[in-house]
Homo-oligomer: A and B are copies of this chain.
Amino acid sequence: MDLVIGIDIGGTKTKVGLVNKEGHCVEHTYFRTREYPDLDDYLDKTVAVIDELKSKFPEDLNILGCGIGAPNASSRNGTIVNASNLVWKGTVPILAKLYERLPIPTKIMNDASAAAVGEMMFGNAKGMTDFIVITLGTGFGSGIVANGKLVDGYDGFAGELGHIDMTIGDGRVTGQRVKGGLEAYVSATGLKRTILYMMSMYMDESRFRDIAYNDLHGEEITQAAAEGDSIALKAFDYTADILAMAMANFTAFTQPEAFILMGGLVNSGKWIFDPLHKYFEEYLLDVYKGKVKILRSGLPPRTTAICGAAALIWEEHKTQQPSEA
C-alpha cells in the first residue's frame, strides 16, 4: 500500500499520520511539542512515532515521502524562521535534520499553505484555480492559490495575512508585535481578547465577568452566544466584521473564487458565519459582489492538518502520474 507521512507541527501538539492517495488518514497520533525543547530530541521522537505508525502495516507498505506543515516555514529553504508559537528560536533547519534520520522525499510548508494544497487535492477546492484558505486557530494563517498554483513568494514566505496591519480602532498588538495586525482580532485568541474589550466597552451582564482570560475557551463563547449572552454576541459580530473587511480587501488582490475557512473559530458555526456573510457582501466592491463563495474545509475534521501536509507529497505523485489522478 502506498502511503505518505503527514506531520503538523503546532505550538501545543505535533500530529503525525499516514495518508492514502484518496486523502484518508489511515493511522494517526500526536505528542506534545513543548516537551521537546531540543530539536534533536524532537526529531528523534518524531521518527519513533512514525516507526510506531508504520509498524501497524507490517506487509506491503511503501512510504512515498513526508509532508510537513508548520508555522513560519519556508518551502524554499526547508527552514522554520522565528515562529512565535514554537519553542525553537531563530532559523531552524528542520528539513535537513529530519532527512539525516529519515532519508525519503520530504517537503515543508507554512501550515495554511499546506492546507490549501490539501483542499485542492482532496477537499472543497477540487477543480478551483483561484482560492484562499484561512486558518483561524491560535493565530491567523493563510494559503493563497492563484492560476492553480500555490503562491509561495520570492523565498517562500508569502501568505502571512495575519500580520497585515488593519489599523482598526484601538490598534491591538499581535504576537509578532504588529500594531493593529489582523491576527490580534481574527483568531481564537482574538475572540477572547474581544470578549475583554466588549466588557470594557459595555456594562452588559455576562457570564464572562466571572471567568479569567486564561480560563476562557472558544466553545464556551459559542455556548454563551447560543444562550443570548450579549457580550458574546457583540464579540462574534465584531470579529466577523473585521474578518469580512479583510476578506473583501483580499478579494481585490487575487479575486478568489472562494475562501475556505478552517480552525477552532470555525466551530462557532452560525455565530461567526451569519454576520460574516452579511458584512462580506456589503464590503465587496461591486465588480466582485455575488461571485465569491465562503466555504468550510472539505478535509476530514480531526486530521485536516495531517492531510494537508501529506498532500504536499501526493501532489507530486499525481502530477507525475496523471492516469492515477
A29 at the interface (CB under 8 A from B): no
Take A160-B287, A245-B165, A285-B163 as given contacts and tell me if A144 and B254 are in contact as well, using a CB distance cutoff of 8 Å: yes
Q: Determine the residue in chain B with the shortest Cβ distance to A169.
A: B167
The interface bits of chain A over 158-175 (1 if a CB of B lies within 8 angstroms of the residue's CB, else 0) are 111101111110000000
The answer to whether A254 touches B158 (Cβ under 8 A) is yes
Take A249-B164, A285-B176, A286-B82 as given contacts and tell me if A130 and B157 are in contact as well, using a CB distance cutoff of 8 Å: no
The answer to whether B147 touches A147 (Cβ under 8 A) is yes
| C-alpha gap A156/B254 in the complex (Å) | 9
A202 at the interface (CB under 8 A from B): no
The answer to whether B255 touches A154 (Cβ under 8 A) is yes
A43 contacts across to B, CB distance below 8 A: none
Majority SS at the chain A contact face? loop
The interface bits of chain A over 164-199 (1 if a CB of B lies within 8 angstroms of the residue's CB, else 0) are 111110000000101000000000000000000000
| C-alpha gap A167/B164 in the complex (Å) | 13
The answer to whether A155 touches B245 (Cβ under 8 A) is no
Neighbour of A146 across the interface among B146, B155, B156, B176, CB < 8 A: B146
The answer to whether A255 touches B157 (Cβ under 8 A) is yes
The interface bits of chain A over 263-295 (1 if a CB of B lies within 8 angstroms of the residue's CB, else 0) are 000000000000000000001011110011000
Number of chain A interface residues as a range: 35 or more
A72 at the interface (CB under 8 A from B): yes
What are 22 A-B pairs with beta-carbon distances under 8 A? A81-B287, A146-B146, A146-B151, A146-B153, A147-B147, A147-B149, A147-B152, A151-B151, A154-B255, A154-B257, A154-B291, A157-B287, A158-B255, A159-B252, A159-B254, A160-B255, A160-B285, A161-B253, A164-B253, A167-B168, A253-B253, A253-B254
